[in-house]
Amino acid sequence: MKILVLNAGSSSQKSCLYELTEPLPNDPPAPLWEAQIDWTAQAGKALLKIKANGKKIEQTIDSSDQATDTLQLLKTLSEGDTKVIQHSNEVDVVGHRIVHGGQSYRQSVRIDQTVKDTIADLARFAPLHNPANLQGIEAIEQSLGNVPQVAVFDTAFHSTLSAAASLYPIPYEWYEKGVQRYGFHGISHQYCANRAAQLLEQDLHSLKLITCHLGNGCSSAAIRNGQSIDTTMGFTPLEGLMMGSRSGSIDPGVVLYLMREDHYSIDEVEKLLNKQSGLLGVSGVSSDLRQVVNAETERSTLAIETYIHRLRSNIGAMIASLEGLDAIVFTAGVGENSAMIRSRTCEAFRWLGLELDEGKNQASPVDQNIAALSSKVQILVIHTEEDWAIAQECWKLAR
């Protein structure tokens, strides 16, 4: 079975094609074809990167609209040096990462017009993401016709949150209108939980896990019995941890102050909190942790200390929700690559019997347990595989 995965965002898109046979492998397989579009490199241009048949191709194209660029990208599946299929009808199913499923979707679903309409309606909750996700669906309809398509929702994994964990302490009428804590990065958190159980050779339902997805966007989740019971992101991906350019949680009074005293507009506040805060806002250097670390200024040091303080605090909250801890997982760009962040974070939890093997930590581990042999809590570094998780969901529904 050939499964195409589209992970569409507002500024970039990642795609890959898997060929799967039964039984599915335990380890993520290498895709037949991988591709990426980056719309941030140059105004009016799109950077295409394609990898297939042992070749890597990069080209910059004129970009009139993202849908047209996606169609051009999909052509490389069956044309040129990156050709891996003879005809588009060889693709059996297409899976899409959909950021927001709202209260409507608690699991992956086959896409029909009703699903498309709901995704469009939920764009009011995720205006930067759901429209781009929908555009990807429509691009597949144009290029591959009536191939079955599957929506895999980033919020679905967190639909198991209790009412107490998902409710905001505001008038209940708002909850009835859909204002609640949804959580995000669910595909990554779910994948890492399953992968952690594999690596530890234990039943997932017996484990109490904290998964830390630390990239440009950051969130942690408390997972018990294989289900999310708490997470740091909420109504939007802005809540929770300090991130690359997002503030994470702040006193809502700050927003009221900015609008009342400095006459900020809604759009200005939104841009400030999403694109000018976090590591970038505090350091004044970059949203990239590596550049902040290398800057070695007073403000860059403060940014790192604040990042670690908030990460530790939120992990502590997750431990309280779990009432125990078997393993902590670090994943995504920062989580997988920053030995310093892992080390500094783990220092705060030695009282739990958590002991890091610093040699393993410094060795650029991937899908490894970096806890000391004497540690009472395991520490895992896992390379998140969202595309593979989406492909697995497609396989289940197709079968």
Percent of the chain with pLDDT over 90: 70
Q: What are the angstrom distances between the C-alpha of 332 and each of 41, 73, 206?
A: 22, 25, 25
How confident is residue 399, by pLDDT bands cut at 50, 70 and 90? confident
Indicate whether 386 belongs to any domain: no
Judged against a pLDDT cut of 70, whether residue 51 lies above it is answered with yes
Query: pLDDT value at position 67?
Result: 78
Indicate whether 161 belongs to any domain: no
Judged against a pLDDT cut of 80, whether residue 12 lies above it is answered with no
How confident is residue 41, by pLDDT bands cut at 50, 70 and 90? low
Same domain, 141 and 223: no
> How far apart are the C-alpha atoms of 295 and 312, rounded to whole Å?
23
Same domain, 326 and 218: yes
Same domain, 273 and 357: yes
Check which CATH number belongs to the domain holding 8 and give it: 3.30.420.40
Judged against a pLDDT cut of 90, whether residue 58 lies above it is answered with no
Stronger pLDDT, 174 or 398, i.e. the higher one: 174
Same domain, 16 and 96: yes
Q: For the chain, what is the mean pLDDT?
A: 92
| pLDDT (average), residues 268-278 | 93
CB 197 within 8 A of CB 336: no
| pLDDT (average), residues 189-195 | 96
Stronger pLDDT, 154 or 62, i.e. the higher one: 154
Judged against a pLDDT cut of 70, whether residue 10 lies above it is answered with no
Same domain, 206 and 281: yes
Total domain count, the chain: 2
| pLDDT (average), residues 36-47 | 79
Judged against a pLDDT cut of 80, whether residue 43 lies above it is answered with no
Domain edge (last residue) among 153, 169, 186: 153
Same domain, 108 and 215: no
Judged against a pLDDT cut of 90, whether residue 64 lies above it is answered with no
Same domain, 9 and 74: yes
Same domain, 260 and 341: yes
Same domain, 21 and 120: yes
How confident is residue 60, by pLDDT bands cut at 50, 70 and 90? confident
| pLDDT (average), residues 232-240 | 94
Indicate whether 396 belongs to any domain: no
Of 154, 212, 164, 143, nearest to 384 (Cα)? 212
Of 177, 173, 175, nearest to 164 (Cα)? 175
Indicate whether 160 belongs to any domain: no
Indicate whether 324 belongs to any domain: yes
Query: pLDDT value at position 162?
Result: 96
Indicate whether 93 belongs to any domain: yes
Same domain, 61 and 120: yes
Q: What are the angstrom distances between the C-alpha of 380 and each of 92, 180, 263, 384?
A: 35, 31, 46, 12
* pLDDT tens readout for residues 301-336: 999 999 999 999 999 999 999 999 999 999 999 999
Domain that holds residue 123: 2-153
Pairing of strands 149-153, 109-110: antiparallel
Buried b (16+ CB within 10 A) or exposed e, 5-31: bbbbbbebbbbbbbebeeeeeeebeeb
Query: pLDDT value at position 155?
Result: 95
Q: Which residues are catalytic?
A: 154
| pLDDT (average), residues 241-258 | 95
pTM, full prediction: 0.92
Indicate whether 175 belongs to any domain: no
Same domain, 141 and 230: no
Same domain, 357 and 255: yes
Domain edge (last residue) among 96, 129, 153: 153
Domain edge (last residue) among 96, 121, 153: 153
Indicate whether 173 belongs to any domain: no
How confident is residue 142, by pLDDT bands cut at 50, 70 and 90? confident
* pLDDT tens readout for residues 101-133: 988 898 999 999 999 999 999 988 888 788 888
